[in-house]
Chains A and B, each alone.
Chain A
């Protein structure tokens, strides 16, 4: 297709890469947090829940700025990562992935938590009486039963990551080829006179990707639910 130049395709590819890694990194954490929120009552439960949801309600620019002062080269965590592992996040695509992960995190946790809450605890008890310890129960019973929610949450997180803008541009700027994602590209071409055509196509691409992700999430969750005998 020649409606999009190499630079625009690069933005699409970068967005997919950022979204993919954002989901891969945040999934285990989201799973753990969702499990803790679903299964345990402890002082600070409400606070943890609120913290998880913070990126959903905080202005994305604020989230991006907080990321910058924490994970930037001068930030506490960022400085440590750079000196210890040589890992730089600020103004890199990896930083964009982190920003996307943080922004998609609440959506993933919500979906996964719901599915863990509806997973039948009596089946976990049954597994226990069959000699399975807590770890095995989680892996062989809880996780498979929560799989529809985990898939739905991951795809939702992926879609959210694809469209992330505010936190990303604040944290990692808008560097062509490095941090210029789909959303940043749309924003950039909106500033350029005569860029409407490109903007239109890029929005079309976003539309298709998002719609596909949502449909896939729905279909996949239902297919898995049927397969494991829940549907």
Chain B
């Protein structure tokens, strides 16, 4: 059951005009602050009524301004996790969690959500006694327990520090994998989107710049500047084949094997690996006597010339696409152009733990 959104609104300083589909899984609304992401989510929730909008979940119309339909938030069957948690201060954690359940949903539901988000020890506490990360987990649980058909998350990690973020991300991954529903996830952090997103909707100044499967969007050299050159990089899907005694895990990709510092997934498990374009070195010949463990045979698909001294090279290795960022000078010296056969070299330790996620 998908979510379909079409919105038009004139804010004066910029106009919102976009349409996109969000299937089951995490659809990341990605863009700079002020691009209109929160307005979109608020329109889906019914908290903001744009000039024109048509919002449909499955075959249920939540709003259609042309037909004068605009359901109030409490009739929309949506769950909303706000950036600032918004727990009710006058209720316990349990009171907060139960607020949206009202008769619907059984004890099994409750136990499952509490287990999934690790809320068991928190239920008797008061919101003010919780850490930022705990608050956000409770807010997620509260939204889920209202049994929404769509989950909206507006930068749920933005107000947390790096450690708290790392604490919550695994819960969000479980959520994505266990809940079969569209999750609209607003973010301006590439790392979060790379880890969580099934689908990416790239937004700039109220318009959709690109939309598609996360792997496709991240592998598109033309979009790399929008993701931020320093953070651009392709997402590769592979299968863990072995954990070696020296602390490395071996991951089979379609074009070869990748050795990475111990990956948190059992052999046979599928993982997504984000390889940042600036961590990839290209070599025409298979390098010899090199410390880097990962050497993938590849073929150049496209070379994207930026404004600065750099170029982004898109390569195919097996079925997968990866991006490499190098200087124009190197690209010319190696005669890198579409069709060129070469080798992509990736240092194992360059791939941070946070860049590998279970699928």
Contact = CB atoms under 8 A, between A and B. Distances in A.
Interface of A: 120, 122-123, 125-133, 140-141, 144-145, 227-230
B60 interface: no
A131 B72 contact: no
A129 B128 contact: no
A133 B86 contact: no
A230 B128 CA distance: 9
Contacts of B73: 125, 128-129
A132 B126 contact: no
Given A129-B143, A130-B99, A145-B90, A122 B82 contact: yes
A134 to B, nearest CB: 8
Interface of B: 45-47, 72-74, 76-80, 82, 84, 86, 88-90, 99-100, 102, 126-128, 142-143, 146, 152
User: Which of A129, A145, A227 gathers the greatest number of chain B CB atoms within 10 Å?
Assistant: A129
Contact of A130 (B47, B90, B100, B152): B100
B99 A127 contact: yes
User: Which of A123, A128, A131 gathers the greatest number of chain B CB atoms within 10 Å?
Assistant: A131
User: Which of A126, A141, A227, A229 gathers the greatest number of chain B CB atoms within 10 Å?
Assistant: A126
Contact of B126 (A129, A141, A229): A229
Contacts of A125: 47, 73, 86
A125 B46 CA distance: 10
Nearest to B152: A129
B90 A129 contact: no
A144 B80 CA distance: 22
Interface of B, secondary structure class, is loop
A94 B359 CA distance: 73
A48 B121 CA distance: 50
30 contacts: A122-B82, A123-B88, A126-B86, A127-B88, A128-B46, A128-B47, A128-B73, A128-B74, A129-B45, A129-B73, A129-B74, A129-B143, A129-B146, A129-B152, A130-B100, A130-B146, A131-B74, A131-B77, A131-B100, A131-B102, A131-B146, A132-B74, A132-B100, A133-B74, A144-B90, A145-B89, A145-B90, A229-B89, A229-B127, A229-B128
Contacts of B77: 131
A144 B91 CA distance: 10
Nearest to B42: A125
Given A129-B74, A132-B99, A229-B126, A141 B80 contact: no
Nearest to B145: A130
Interface of A, secondary structure class, is helix
User: Which of B89, B126, B142, B143 gathers the greatest number of chain A CB atoms within 10 Å?
Assistant: B89
Given A130-B142, A229-B127, A122 B100 contact: no
A123 B86 contact: yes
A128 B74 CA distance: 5
Nearest to A224: B90
Given A141-B88, A229-B128, A129 B80 contact: yes
Given A122-B86, A128-B72, A228-B90, 6 more contacts: A125-B86, A129-B74, A130-B100, A131-B100, A133-B74, A230-B90
B3 to A, nearest CB: 15
A141 B95 CA distance: 12
B206 to A, nearest CB: 23
Contacts of A144: 90
A228 B99 CA distance: 16
A144 B95 CA distance: 13
Contacts of B127: 229
Nearest to B127: A229
Nearest to B104: A131
A228 B89 contact: yes
Contacts of A228: 89-90
A145 B91 CA distance: 11
Contacts of A141: 88
Nearest to A133: B74
Which 4 pairs from chain A and chain B are nearest by CB? Answer: A228-B90, A130-B100, A229-B89, A128-B73
Contacts of B88: 123, 126-127, 141
Given A122-B82, A229-B128, A130 B143 contact: yes
B128 to A, nearest CB: 5
Nearest to A127: B99
A129 B81 CA distance: 9
A128 B73 CA distance: 6
A228 B90 CA distance: 4
B42 to A, nearest CB: 9
Contacts of B102: 131
